[in-house]
Amino acid sequence: MAQIIEMPKLSDTMTVGTLVKWLKNEGDAVKNGTMLAEVETDKATMELECFFDGTLLKILAPAGSQVEIGAPLCAIGKPGEKWELPAGKPAPKADVAGSAKSTAQTVDEKSPAPSIAPAKESPAPAPSSSATVAPLPSVASEGQRIRISPLAKKLAAEKGMDPASITGSGPGGRIVRADVLAAEKSGPVKGGTGGGGKSGAGLASTLSSKGPIQDERAVPVSTMRGVIAKRLLESKTQIPHFYLDVEVDAAPLLDLRLQLNSALEKEGVKLSVNDFILKASAEALRRVPAVNASWEQTQIRYFGAAHVSFAVAIDDGLITPVVRDSHLKSIFAISAEAKTLGKLAKEKKLKPDQFTGGTFCVSNLGMMGIDRFSAIINPPNAAILAVGTTVKKPVVEEDRIVIGQRLTLTLSCDHRVVDGAVGAQFLAALRELLEKPALLLI
């Protein structure tokens, strides 16, 4: 009897998975270890592995369908072998949202900015009395070659105009220079008077020379983005957040980092500021273990190990890879592991045990130039640390104003678990470790 492969549970919070696409077709030979399909969970897009040798007899879940855990996906067996579904487990069907999602992903593979028309368009807002809105020009159908002279094409590009929206008057409908100029004059906004001494015609010319911000489109919400939205809403509405921030003298950390990277350059070692923060967070959790906890309704769980996760931005949201037992690892080990996990995260190749089970989270937007921010707690964690950028600013040292390097850290706490005094103790320990970074090398 053929083997039925079912939807596995690929993350701790997963209830359904979206079958993004099949990597094998019916009739293809497969073996143990063959990747059959791509499945999007609430955490990442992962590959579905085959554990049998044989032939892909039947695909039971079409691409784009959302499949519950335990539902049948496909049948594997010998060519011509009979197969049957387990009792009470009908084959999943693609729903409308799933089909739309599949279409969106197919288009996305070909174009970075697809234009997907919604099923129903909302009526356009009425134009203001001070502007005349011209009717939308006809657009060339998909795949149709636009006939345009080289000079007209260059002129349209300079003016930011789409040749497909211009009506040609040349032989065979060819677009010539005069057509581009005429289209510019009959732009979407005419008349009226502009401020600052600029005429309405001048304003219309300025506006018509610029294209839209982006192609207007409606993209179905992915499984990951939907779960992120749900979890963040639950976190913000159900967890009583409070925030503490502290300013850290980052000069000693930056000096030590520079020395270590210079000394160990030949060994390929390159420590980041975030590596120091991950290590310091793990050590601060050792010193103030009350922060390394989780609310469990009728009890508070205090963890015996610091599994520090860090936020990584990916195409459709973010994911938090976990450096397990961070309190037992050197800063060099943490750095190497964080780089590996970050790379896997961006490639969407993390395994479930690499992004689940974190007990504390670090979110760093400093590398993007953000001075300070407050992060939303990632349940079931009781706290999350938001890291800003290092800012050069005047500071007072021994009654003298000097140039300092300052780093702002903001701790978001679950008040059901962490009180203000405990959060303050944690930040004090963290600041001491970062201002005396040699302690992180012990």
Q: Which residue ranges form the domains of the chain, and what is each CATH number? A: 3-109 (2.40.50.100), 239-441 (3.30.559.10)
Contact 7, 318 (CB under 8 A): no
Show the beta-strand stretches assigned E in 31-179: 35-40, 45-49, 54-59, 66-68, 72-77
CA distance 154 to 160: 10
| Per-residue pLDDT at 276 | 98
| Per-residue pLDDT at 206 | 56
Query: CA dist 96 to 79, 107, 356, Å?
Result: 33, 17, 31
Tokens of 26: 């019916």
**CB-neighbour burial class of residue 214 (10 A; exposed 0-12, middle 13-18, buried 19+):** exposed
Report which of 45, 34, 94 is spatially closest to residue 67, judged by C-alpha positions. 94
3-state secondary structure of 273: helix
Catalytic residues: 415
Widest distance between CA atoms in the chain: 87
Contact 104, 220 (CB under 8 A): yes
Query: CA dist 1 to 73, 80, 182, Å?
Result: 16, 11, 71
Residue where the block lists tokens 């973010």: 318
Helix-helix angle 273-287:420-435, to 10 degrees: 130
| Per-residue pLDDT at 241 | 97
- List, as one string, the DSSP characters of 297-339: SS-EEEPSS--EEE-EEETTEEE--EETTGGGS-HHHHHHHHH
C-alpha 323: how far from chain center: 19
- List, as one string, the DSSP characters of 366-402: GGGT-----PPP-TT-SEEEEEEEEEEEEEEETTEEE
| Per-residue pLDDT at 209 | 61
Task: Write out the chain's pLDDT in tens, 442 residues.
Answer: 789 999 988 877 778 888 889 999 999 999 998 999 988 887 777 888 898 899 999 999 998 888 999 999 999 999 988 888 877 676 676 554 443 343 333 333 333 333 333 333 434 444 343 443 333 343 444 445 687 877 778 788 888 888 888 888 776 677 888 888 888 877 653 333 444 444 555 555 555 566 778 788 888 888 788 888 988 999 999 999 999 999 999 999 999 999 999 999 999 899 999 999 999 999 999 999 999 999 999 999 999 999 999 999 987 788 999 999 999 999 999 999 999 999 999 888 888 899 999 999 999 999 999 999 999 999 999 999 999 999 999 999 889 999 999 999 999 999 999 999 999 999 999 999 999 999 999 8
Tokens of 350: 């993390």
| Per-residue pLDDT at 140 | 47
List the end-to-end C-alpha distance of the chain, in Å, as a whole number: 59
Tokens of 69: 């855990």
> CA angle, 100 as apex, 96 and 102 as ends, to 5°?
115
